[in-house]
Amino acid sequence: MNTYSKPSKPLLTLLKIGGGVVEEEVALKQLLYDFSHLKGAKVLVHGGGKSASRMARDLGIEVKMVEGRRITDAAMLEIVMMVFGGRINTQIVAVLQSMKINAIGLTGADMNLIQAHKRPVEEIDYGFVGDVDEINHQQLQQLIELGTLPVIAPLTHDGKGQMLNTNADTVASMLAQALSQHYQVRLVLCFEKAGVLLDAEDDDSVMAKLTPEVYAGYKAQGIIYAGMIPKLDNAFAAVKAGVSEVCICDRKGLISLEGEFSGTKVFRK
């Protein structure tokens, strides 16, 4: 008797690169080259927080952060729109095009890709920060299937004409979860460190794996703090929602994804 086996989903690597990575021109070009040569479909999400903070300070605008999350008033929203949706996004697309990769730059407003609502004021007023409501994953899948590489800035919209700033790790995690309906998604959160460090001052103290229980303990002890908290919150949300694999690494870790991995892998339990 013949048995029917459902075909496995195709592989998709969703890479998120942080602000420290996008600021180094030579390293960024090498990372994009390495990424473009990974097997399977690809999506890239970028941050750019360091560039946005530098521009804000140059313009005399105060930069406010709470546990790695940016307070975005009207003036800061103008800056992140210029930096994320403008300079960084278009520069990455241009570099990829120079490598003969057919990339397309997008924000959450393009094709109604990521709709969000302004975060309600509770203990903290985050300003024009968006919490994601809906991912238009069908439209995104169509672009991917056409052979394009979407390059997505962490800007969302509320469907009423208001742009919102959303944490880039959150955008990457939510996109990975939505695209899991179509692909076997590997989410890679790439930044300037080799992985999650047990000692922030020791670059060799990479944790090979993290579970929710271990993470909660390290966070309570203050070993994991600041910008690593939203990064890991989003990593765990992704694996819990069915994303096949979540890795946190630097550029060298990205290269090794085809073989032995050298960064931090996040597990559901």
Give the chain's domain count: 1
- Residue 266, classed as helix, strand or coil, is strand
| pLDDT at site 255 | 79
Q: Is 88 helix (H, G, I), strand (E, B) or coil?
A: helix
Question: How many Cα atoms occupy the beta-carbon half-sphere of 91 within 13 Å?
Answer: 16
Distance CA 27, CA 72 (A): 29
pTM of model > 0.85: yes
* Predicted pLDDT of residue 6: 55
pLDDT the model gives residue 85 = 96
Q: What is the CATH number of the domain that holds 37?
A: 3.40.1160.10
**Sequence-distant (≥ 6) Cβ neighbours of residue 174 within 8 angstroms:** 114, 132, 135
Q: Is residue 6 part of a domain?
A: no
Is residue 3, in this structure, part of any structural domain at all? no
Task: Specify whether the CB–CB gap between 169 and 16 falls below 8 A.
Answer: yes
Would residue 65 count as lying in a domain?
yes
Splitting the chain (269 residues) into consecutive groups of 10 residues, what average pLDDT does each group show? 63 90 89 92 95 95 88 97 96 96 98 97 95 97 97 98 96 97 95 91 93 94 89 94 93 77 88
4: in domain: no
Pairwise CA distance, residues 47 & 169, whole Å: 8
Does residue 23 sit within a domain?
yes
Within the chain, residue ranges assigned H as helices are 19-22, 25-36, 49-58, 74-82, 89-98, 137-145, 168-179, 212-221, 228-240, 251-255
Domain interval for residue 188? 11-266
Task: Say what the pLDDT of residue 1 is.
Answer: 46
pLDDT at 67: 77
Q: Is residue 230 domain-resident?
A: yes
